[in-house]
């Protein structure tokens, strides 16, 4: 009996797609590929998985019934393998909710803290570090209404020290510490793909209290799937814990 070519292709694409989808994060963890390249390899795995599903659907149709072609098990295998990366990606994409397609988040969109040390990093050569302005501000206020300046009781010096401690507890790598100006900078590395994000924290007096502003910016891509906002929330929670 003639074997369904679509079923055979489905099984092949399913295996290749799952391999590429798994290889992306693994290459990033082993530091054998840049974060951006590893992410694109994983994305390629998703596309191949879609092909496996398409060929699987055709293969299942061609192998239906007693008079159908051989290869139904291949079509089923390819379809199931294609569903694995797509299901994982769908679950990951739905977890942050409807997040805006921006990658520069700050508690103060009107007067965001400016990067200083980050501009001297070779990895940022040729990359603009100025805040994008009202375009991002509108999207941020709509998507992250809770990301606002952090008000804490006490003088700036004490709040600055507390902010440093919070950053260190979160594992940030401090690149600039200026107590006199009430500001410090750091970088944070994402867990899976090792994307590097730049962070700046500013502490200012406001009457008897202090205002802490944070800005977290991704070095790659335009969207961040909510990663920078989540980082600011973790810092805020660590900072205010115990007050």
Q: Report CA torsion sign: 56, 86, 220, 171.
A: negative
Contact status, residue 224 vs residue 102, Cβ threshold 8 Å: yes
- The CATH architecture annotation of domain 104-240 reads 2-Layer Sandwich (3.30)
Average pLDDT, consecutive stretches of 10 residues, N- to C-terminus, the chain (243 residues): 90 96 92 89 96 96 85 95 92 70 95 95 90 94 95 96 96 96 95 90 96 95 87 96 75
Contact status, residue 202 vs residue 107, Cβ threshold 8 Å: no
Q: Which two tokens stand for residue 166?
A: 């919070």
Contact status, residue 62 vs residue 7, Cβ threshold 8 Å: yes
Cα–Cα distance measured from residue 222 to residue 36, given in angstroms and rounded to the nearest whole number:
12
Cα–Cα distance measured from residue 123 to residue 215, given in angstroms and rounded to the nearest whole number:
18
Q: Which pLDDT value is given to residue 127?
A: 86
Q: Where are the domains of the chain?
A: 5-94, 104-240
Which residue reads 């200083």 in tokens? Answer: 116
Which of 228, 236, 202 is CA-nearest to residue 136? 228
Cα–Cα distance measured from residue 9 to residue 1, given in angstroms and rounded to the nearest whole number:
17
Cα–Cα distance measured from residue 80 to residue 74, given in angstroms and rounded to the nearest whole number:
10
Q: Which pLDDT value is given to residue 56?
A: 96
Q: Which pLDDT value is given to residue 142?
A: 93
Q: Which pLDDT value is given to residue 155?
A: 96
pTM: 0.79
Q: Which pLDDT value is given to residue 95?
A: 55
Q: Which two tokens stand for residue 137?
A: 């501000």
Cα–Cα distance measured from residue 217 to residue 123, given in angstroms and rounded to the nearest whole number:
13
Give the 3-state secondary structure of residue 171: coil
Q: Which pLDDT value is given to residue 96?
A: 55
Q: Which pLDDT value is given to residue 94?
A: 67
Q: Which pLDDT value is given to residue 181?
A: 96
């Amino acid at each position: 009996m003639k074997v369904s070519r679509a079923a055979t292709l489905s099984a092949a694409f399913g295996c290749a797609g799952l391999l590429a989808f798994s290889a992306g994060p693994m290459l990033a963890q082993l530091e054998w590929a840049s974060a951006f390249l590893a992410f694109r390899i994983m994305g390629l795995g998703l596309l191949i998985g879609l092909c496996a599903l398409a060929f699987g659907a055709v293969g299942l149709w061609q192998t239906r019934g007693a008079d159908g072609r051989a290869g139904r098990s291949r079509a089923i295998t390819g379809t199931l393998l294609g569903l694995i990366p797509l299901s994982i990606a769908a679950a990951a994409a739905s977890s942050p909710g409807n997040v805006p397609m921006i990658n520069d988040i700050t508690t103060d969109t009107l007067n965001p803290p400016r990067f200083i040390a980050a501009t001297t990093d070779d990895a940022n050569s040729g990359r603009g570090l100025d805040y994008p302005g009202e375009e991002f501000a509108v999207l941020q206020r709509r998507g992250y209404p809770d990301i606002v300046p952090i008000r804490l009781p006490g003088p700036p010096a004490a709040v600055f020290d507390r902010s440093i401690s919070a950053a260190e507890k979160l594992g940030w790598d401090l690149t600039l510490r200026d107590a006199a100006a009430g500001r410090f900078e750091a970088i944070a590395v994402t867990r899976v793909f090792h994307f590097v994000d730049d962070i700046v924290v500013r502490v200012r007096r406001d009457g008897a209290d202090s205002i802490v502003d944070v800005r977290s910016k991704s070095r790659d891509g335009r969207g961040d799937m909510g990663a920078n906002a989540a980082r600011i929330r973790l810092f805020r929670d660590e900072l205010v814990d115990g007050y």
